[in-house]
């Protein structure tokens, strides 16, 4: 049987990917250029018994999804950079309380209101460091309409598996462009649900590490009663200031994502013509589309260029970038900001080769010609 195909906008694909993953609650507030995600889900969620609610602001939207998640729902909110800024306190709450949720950030220019209808990639460090305190971060950066669908599904899987917020970052270009999308059949893509407790309610502890770095999560209303707080807490969920408990909790929450085993399961990257590359282009999101075209054109001229495209931006692919830094003569980092991920590449490469930033913040996309010219300068 032929699969269903459609010409679909990126934001629409995001909404349908959420539905495929089992999303049953959306709490949000309209903001350009992400509003179509909410529009689609306002129509689709009620059809499957799900709930859609438009809150009075972005802070309330984030609060609503956390409350819904604690009742057992798979939850989503969608916004852009200014909205993520407003959500940061509650994103931190989701981190420390280990509440699964997915946050879509359709990036635009900034800071502040910036250029609402233009593309940007200036929220990539915000995704990692926007909320205060030491915490783990998972952020995905799809580059096509099809990939927005599949990475939204994967975001839900990661949120549920690791009990934490997961951000999906794509920019206005991919969010509003229309491309052919092929819908996977039910069961074709893996769908993960959170681990539920296997002990009776009277024995349940919401942060019981005897089950591993990711404790099972009961749902409010299912017969389990437990305490949730933004304070450091013991395994029973109640606050503690005991140094050994606080230290162990902080380290566990980072380790569950940054540990070697977890990184293998979370990291996803695409490499294109990197085997013999002498100059590497590190690019993500819509900019990687220009970068791929540039690499093809450079190869026609006999210049051995290659592309590394992170699909998981956080955790950062440190080992692979470190290895490639020892192989190539230079790494070019084009991005629609003033060098945010360029700094991360520099940190990992540690001087093995020059790392050169191409930054653009005028509301226009980076074009292949800019990348080609920079590669030729360092060849």
Q: What is the pLDDT of residue 3?
A: 82
Residue 35 CA to residue 366 CA, distance in Å, equals 24
Number of domains present in the structure of the chain: 3
CA-closest candidate to residue 231, choices 128, 133, 158, 165:
133
Q: What is the pLDDT of residue 312?
A: 98
Do both 62 and 156 map to the same domain? yes
How far lies 163's CA from each of 112, 158, 264, 265, in Å?
30, 8, 17, 15
Is residue 1's pLDDT more than 70? Answer: no
Helix, strand or coil for residue 292?
Answer: helix
Do both 303 and 257 map to the same domain? no
- For position 363, which CATH number holds? 3.40.50.920
Do both 346 and 276 map to the same domain? yes
Do both 158 and 62 map to the same domain? yes
Do both 41 and 68 map to the same domain? yes
Do both 58 and 160 map to the same domain? yes
Burial of residue 59, with CB atoms counted within 10 A of its CB: 0-12 exposed, 13-18 middle, 19 or more buried? middle
The answer to whether position 189 is within a domain reads: no
Q: Residue 123: pLDDT band by 50, 70, 90 thresholds?
A: very high
Do both 98 and 122 map to the same domain? yes
Q: What is the pLDDT of residue 170?
A: 97
Q: Residue 295: pLDDT band by 50, 70, 90 thresholds?
A: very high
DSSP state for residue 369 in the 8-state scheme = H
Q: Residue 378: pLDDT band by 50, 70, 90 thresholds?
A: confident
Which tens digits make up the pLDDT trace of 29-62?
999 999 999 999 999 999 999 999 999 999 999 9
Percent over 90 (pLDDT), the chain = 97
Which residue range(s) make up the domain with 231? 201-264
Report whether 16 contacts 40 (CB < 8 A).
yes
Do both 82 and 165 map to the same domain? yes
Q: Model-level pTM?
A: 0.97
DSSP state for residue 218 in the 8-state scheme = P
Examine residue 11 and say whether the peptide bond preceding it is cis (omega within 30 degrees of 0): no
Do both 144 and 205 map to the same domain? no
DSSP state for residue 2 in the 8-state scheme = P
Taking residues 91-107, report their average pLDDT.
98
Taking residues 333-359, report their average pLDDT.
97
Which tens digits make up the pLDDT trace of 150-202?
999 999 999 999 999 999 999 999 999 999 999 999 999 999 999 999 999 99
- For position 77, which CATH number holds? 3.40.50.970
CA-closest candidate to residue 127, choices 172, 93, 80:
80
Angle at 223 between CA 219 and CA 226, to 5 degrees: 60
- Angle between helix axes 340-349 and 318-327 (nearest 10 degrees) is 70
Q: Residue 90: pLDDT band by 50, 70, 90 thresholds?
A: very high
Residue 21 CA to residue 169 CA, distance in Å, equals 18
Do both 241 and 279 map to the same domain? no
Write out the DSSP string of 255-278: HHHHSHHHHHHH--EEEES-TT-S
Q: What is the pLDDT of residue 379?
A: 72
Do both 77 and 15 map to the same domain? yes
Which tens digits make up the pLDDT trace of 234-290?
999 999 999 999 999 999 999 999 999 999 999 999 999 999 999 999 999 999 999
Other beta carbons within 10 Å of 257: 22
């Amino acid at each position: 049987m032929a699969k269903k195909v459609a010409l679909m906008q990126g934001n629409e694909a995001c909404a349908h990917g959420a539905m495929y993953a089992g999303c049953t609650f959306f709490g949000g507030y309209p903001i350009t250029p992400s509003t179509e995600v909410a529009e689609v889900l306002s129509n689709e969620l009620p059809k499957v018994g799900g709930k859609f609610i438009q809150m009075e602001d972005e802070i309330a939207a984030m609060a609503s999804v956390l409350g819904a998640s604690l009742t057992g729902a798979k939850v989503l909110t969608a916004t852009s950079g200014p909205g993520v800024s407003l959500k940061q306190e509650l994103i931190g709450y989701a981190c420390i309380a280990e509440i699964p949720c997915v946050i879509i950030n359709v990036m635009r220019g900034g800071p502040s209101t910036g250029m609402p209808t233009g593309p940007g990639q200036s929220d990539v460090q915000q995704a990692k460091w926007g909320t205060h305190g030491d915490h783990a971060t998972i952020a995905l950066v799809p580059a096509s309409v099809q990939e927005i669908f599949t990475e939204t599904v994967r975001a839900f899987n990661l949120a549920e598996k690791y009990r934490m917020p997961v951000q999906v970052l794509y920019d206005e270009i991919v969010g509003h462009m229309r491309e052919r999308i092929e819908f996977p059949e039910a069961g074709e893509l893996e769908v993960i649900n959170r681990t539920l407790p296997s002990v009776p309610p009277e024995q349940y502890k919401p942060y019981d590490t005897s089950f591993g770095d990711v404790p099972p999560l009961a749902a409010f209303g299912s017969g389990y009663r437990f305490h949730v707080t933004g304070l450091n807490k013991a395994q029973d969920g109640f606050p503690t200031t005991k140094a050994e408990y606080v230290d162990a909790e902080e380290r566990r929450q980072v380790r569950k994502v940054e540990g070697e085993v977890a990184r293998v399961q979370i990291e996803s990257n695409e490499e294109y013509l990197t085997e013999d590359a002498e100059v590497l282009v590190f690019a993500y999101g819509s900019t990687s589309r220009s970068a791929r075209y540039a690499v093809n054109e450079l190869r026609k001229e006999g210049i051995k260029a290659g592309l590394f495209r992170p699909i998981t931006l956080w955790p950062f692919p440190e080992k692979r970038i470190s290895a490639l830094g020892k192989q190539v003569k230079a790494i070019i980092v084009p991005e629609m900001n003033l060098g945010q991920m360029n700094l991360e590449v520099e940190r990992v490469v540690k001087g093995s080769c020059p790392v050169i930033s191409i930054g653009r913040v005028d509301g226009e996309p980076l074009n292949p010609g800019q990348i080609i010219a920079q590669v030729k300068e360092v060849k």
